[in-house]
Homo-oligomer: A and B are copies of this chain.
Amino acid sequence: MSRENPSTRERILTAAWKLLDSNPGTAARMSDIAKAAGVSRQALYLHFPNRTELFIATTRHQDEVFGVQDMLSASRAATSGEDRLAAFVTAWGNYIPKIFGVAKTLMIMSETDADAAGAWHERMADMREGCAAAVAALARDGVLIKEQKDATDLLWTLLSIPTWEQLTRLCDWPQDRYVIEILRLARLALCGRA
């Protein structure tokens, strides 16, 4: 289930990725993914124990392809708290659209599937780390006007995927305006000034 012909596994992951991207949340069926990958439905079960694990593997695959780690470490480079906040909001805010389709599917599956919930919460916890680090940097600079826990909660919520979805998809905000406004709001909420 791990050291087989990588090309097939890769093709399945790519097919799942594309399908979930093209209509997020609608949770493609196993047979759809198989067809898109050009393999039999049963072949999926040779590489992944079930649908949930396939989707979890797809998000991990995305993270590898995009190099989330590099992205997050870039925001760690900023010296001042405010720079760090800006770097983190920009990095994560611009990462969301890349992973939205798959992430949303996992998010929805979280409600009914414990494994999906675990993977999803882990991902959100990772993102929260970044929020906490930015908040801590603001506190160190003495510009934070709230408790660190509360500030982290707020920033974490502002940067949540549903918030991104509502503003960009339902309100038709272009991506760059979303980033600018969320950053403005974060600064207002955490430092009391823009």
Residues of A within 8 A of B (CB): 24-27, 104, 108, 111-112, 150, 153-154, 156-157, 160, 162-163, 166-167, 171, 173, 181, 184-185, 188-189, 192, 194
Contacts and interface: CB of A to CB of B under 8 A. Distances in A.
A31 to B, nearest CB: 16
Contacts of A157: 163, 166-167, 171
Determine chain A's interface SS by DSSP, over half rule.
helix
Q: How many copies of this chain does the complex contain?
A: 2
Nearest to A167: B157
B156 A111 contact: no
A181 B154 contact: yes
Nearest to A162: B162
B171 A26 contact: no
When A and B form their complex, which 9 residue pairs have the shortest distance between CB atoms, in order from nearest? A162-B162, A25-B111, A153-B171, A188-B188, A157-B166, A185-B189, A157-B167, A160-B166, A108-B108
Nearest to A149: B171
A149 to B, nearest CB: 8
A156 B166 contact: yes
A153 B178 CA distance: 11
A182 to B, nearest CB: 10
A18 to B, nearest CB: 18
Given A27-B112, A154-B185, A185-B185, 4 more contacts: A25-B112, A27-B111, A153-B173, A163-B163
